[in-house]
Amino acid sequence: MKTDGKLGDVLFTSAQIRSRVQELGAHITRDYAGKELTLIGVLKGGAMFAADLARAVRLPVSLEWIRLSTYADGAVAGEVRRKGVDLDADLRGRHVLLVEDLIDSGLTLAWLRDHLAAFGPASVESCVLMRMHKEDRIENRPVPRYVGFEVPSATWVAGYGIDYADRHRNLPDIHEYQLPVIAA
């Protein structure tokens, strides 16, 4: 028998998130001063973070979206399948900053970097709200240039755009999520 999982403790409050997003925005503003910057938010989980980060960057930026999934439509663990349409933006010569909710294995980020290279950007970097500690799983995993928070690898999270079973995206805080228990 399977029982539903539940929200656990708050890992990061909305105030902590807001503060960290402002710090990341200030750092990005300094690093990209005088450059053409395009933020590409990864949907759906990164939508709130990307929108807040765009407002925290004090430069003219363009904001684009791409939708990916690593477990959709019959994909196996670690396989990346793109959903939705490709980018309409002209990225030639522009600096691109991928904005994701979290990175665990790094496969999605690696795929995105390779995919976007075909668009001819001046550079492709990444900013993640949370980085999970799973170095033992993937060698040569991409290292995000900007990281909001570090999270232990065994932690599941929900809130601030991140879902569990398509629920809890609307929560202002990030909670630990306690997975469902499967009893015999």
How far CA 74 is from CA of 30, 31, 55, in Å, comes to 42, 40, 36
| Secondary structure percentages of the chain, helix, strand, coil, to 5 | 20, 35, 45
Alpha carbon distance 175, 157 (integer Å): 6
Which residues are designated catalytic? Answer: 104
Task: Tell the residue number behind the tokens 């904005």, with chain if given.
Answer: 99
Alpha carbon distance 95, 105 (integer Å): 24
Cβ contacts of 69-73, under 8 Å, gap ≥ 24: 70/107, 70/108
Alpha carbon distance 15, 52 (integer Å): 13
- Estimate to the nearest angstrom the gap between the alpha carbon of 100 and the chain centroid: 2
